[in-house]
Chains A and B, each alone.
Chain A
């Protein structure tokens, strides 16, 4: 169950690096937790903090203008690597509600959708505009499937109808699957299982 998502207006944090993997989003040493809570503290831990645990001023997330930003704009193939849903939990716990890239890794994308974080794939030109203007204010309109870019132009994005419905209504997929019990039982009977 997640807070419904329809429209979001927020500044962006830009991490232009390609192939940002889930080990960067949340390093493995923080995965021994048995809850989903509190992981925002460790989001991007090895990029965000130096060896002595102080925040690094040169990391985009630590810039004053990034405070309160709810949209992360990242380089191609964001969220690749490990399937750890902790990566999405950490982003969400920190405050991010949307991730924009030119390509989002498959498992990360599915995890994001289940936690009220909208994965958005934009065309290269629109994305380049966002990368060029860190901390710009952007509008994500899930209903219209449009991102309003800093120059006012509208960039469309694709999202499956069902995922969009779940995000907009805050509906949880598990509830839907549980409601399909009869179909699942019929399938099990058909395979002799």
Chain B
């Protein structure tokens, strides 16, 4: 009888060009390579310098999201980018895609958006695929039972040239979420709760597999939120075994197989699960029913507490003291009711249609507090169109929030959307690092429900009081 295998074992084994040897790591084949403007120019430059071509341009897809503004004007049909450096980066991507034969969904394409939002939405992200991108949140695609992880620019070059990477196999780590999430508590709270328990480096070197009843009950978009933040626990990736929810999401999408090929694919995908009795290097159980709306108080995603909790005592932990100084928070302070200046709803963590619906459910019939600037940024142009078809944009505007073009926006301060020094923001993005949202800016990470409720209250609020 064969040894029971984990999902990771199966995904890894299926992509081995060559197994690891004592003197060389495994060579792993890459099925899908996503690229964006910020981490690819130096990789293309390396190809040009060596006279190399892109080995499989048809497995490579590009978009622009990080440096692109979410408010722009057109002159003569052409989008004008004010920042000359960002404009140069965007033209470099256009030129590279043209010269190397790579499909690009640029600002003019209705398929443009945050790279981790458009992959799944276009049906490029399939169970069983190996997927990489020069971006740490590539783990988002693991929600489909794909082997998906972020790489650096040198590795972007390797994949462009060889469609392969030299890799050490991660260790396996099963996280079983029991129970069901209570009302007003979202997948974002679940993952923030897990990271608060494990710490920001708690899963370094591991691939997390999220399983259990609470995960089975999640929609694909919620699973993406969950897997999106696996890297914030230090994990190489996070994954969920594919099931009927996965297949129903994928069927009919532009790049999903059709007809007999679809039937055959589903048969292949059904076996992508950890066998009964498979052994993991580490295991953890976590009760989803006990999770409350979460909020971070520090400068690492692991510094989080339930929204009614208090800022902890550093007890001599210099890193925590430094974080509290930066955030200008005191030990023992309650976070609920803390005044805020900005609310950001967006990012590859929470900018999909269901996230916007959650936010809109709070904004409907209410108004953003006078002291707060609220920004709602759809993850892709498709999400934007869908939201507008449902009238969500109207709800946001009526409530006094800004409704923007698709992109990373205020998740990272490199496209014009940013916090001012000292400002506090409740954000649905995934990083509360110092200066992440703007130099001197202070970030509280939370769910779209908590963010919307806080926008209305003008201070950190308990979303459970705002959902019916």
Bound form: Cα–Cα A18–B434 in Å: 13
Cβ–Cβ < 8 Å partners of A29 in chain B: 413-414, 439
* B212 close to chain A: CB less than 8 A: no
Compute how far the CA of A180 lies from the CA of B29 in the bound complex, rounded to whole angstroms.
12
A177 to B436, CA, bound (A): 35
> Which residues from chain B contact A188 at a C-beta distance below 8 Å?
29, 163
Task: Write out the residue numbers on chain A whose beta carbons fall within 8 Å of the beta carbon of B164.
Answer: 177, 180, 184
Interchain CA distance A34-B92 in the complex, whole Å: 8
Distance in Å: Cβ of B442 to nearest Cβ of chain A: 13
**Which A residues lie within 8 Å of B151 (CB)?**
83, 107, 110
Q: A27-B439, A32-B86, A83-B136 are in contact. Are A77 and B431 (CB under 8 A)?
A: no
Q: Are A83 and B158 in contact, CB atoms less than 8 angstroms apart?
A: no
On whether A83 and B412 interact (CB within 8 A), knowing A17-B322, A103-B201, A184-B162, the answer reads: no
- Whole-angstrom CA separation of A9 from B107 in the bound complex: 50
Choose one: A35, A103, A110, A181; the contact of B152 (CB below 8 Å): A110
Query: Given the complex, which residues of B lie within 8 Å of A19, measured CB to CB?
Result: 200-201, 299-300, 302, 319
Residues of chain B within 8 A (CB-CB) of A83 are 39, 134-136, 150-152
Cβ contacts under 8 Å, A46 to chain B: 434-435, 439
A183 at the B interface (CB under 8 A):
yes
Given A75-B319, A81-B136, A181-B162, 16 extra CB contacts under 8 A:
A18-B319, A23-B412, A23-B431, A23-B436, A24-B435, A27-B435, A29-B413, A35-B45, A36-B42, A161-B22, A174-B46, A174-B154, A180-B164, A183-B17, A183-B18, A187-B29
Q: What's the nearest-Cβ distance from chain B to residue A107, in Å?
A: 6
Instruction: State how many angstroms separate the Cβ of A104 from the closest Cβ of chain B.
Output: 8
Cβ contacts B3-47/A at 8 Å (1 or 0 each): 000000000000011100011110101000000001101100110
**In the bound complex, do residue B154 and residue A111 qualify as a contact, i.e. CB atoms below 8 Å apart?**
yes
Find chain A residues with CB under 8 A from B170 CB.
106
User: Would you list the 8 A-B pairs with minimal beta carbon distance, nearest first?
Assistant: A77-B201, A32-B85, A111-B152, A85-B152, A34-B41, A18-B319, A114-B154, A28-B414
Does B1 interact with chain A (Cβ within 8 Å)? no
> Which listed residue (B16, B18, B27, B161) contacts A174, Cβ 8 A?
B161
CB-based nearest B residue for A106: B236
Indicate whether B249 reaches chain A with its CB closer than 8 angstroms.
no
- The answer to whether B17 touches A187 (Cβ under 8 A) is yes
A188 to B16, CA, bound (A): 11
User: How many chain B residues have a CB neighbour from A under 8 Å?
Assistant: 68
Q: Is A93 an interface residue (CB 8 A)?
A: no
B88 within 8 A of A: yes
| Inter-subunit contact A184/B38 (CB<8 Å) | no
- The distance in angstroms between the C-alpha atoms of A85 and B152, with both chains bound, is 5
In this complex, what residue of A is CB-closest to B157?
Answer: A174
* CA distance in complex: A29, B439 (Å): 9
A36 CA / B436 CA spacing, docked (Å): 21
B163 touches A184 (CB 8 A): yes
Q: How far is the CA of A54 from the CA of B163 in the complex (A)?
A: 45
Interface: A105 (CB within 8 A): yes
Measured CA separation A176–B302 after assembly (Å): 38
Flag if A184 contacts B29 (CB, 8 Å).
yes
Cross-chain contact A173 with B158 (CB below 8 angstroms): yes
A140 at the interface (CB under 8 A from B): no
A193 to B322, CA, bound (A): 52
Q: Is the CB of A106 within 8 A of B205?
A: yes
A178 within 8 Å of B (CB atoms) = yes
Does the CB pair B168–A160 fall under 8 Å? yes
CB distance from A89 to the nearest CB of B (A): 8
What are 26 inter-chain pairs, A to B, with CB distance below 8 A? A18-B319, A19-B200, A19-B299, A23-B436, A24-B434, A32-B85, A34-B92, A35-B41, A46-B434, A80-B201, A80-B234, A80-B300, A82-B136, A85-B152, A86-B153, A174-B154, A174-B157, A176-B166, A177-B158, A177-B162, A177-B165, A180-B17, A184-B17, A184-B55, A188-B29, A193-B56
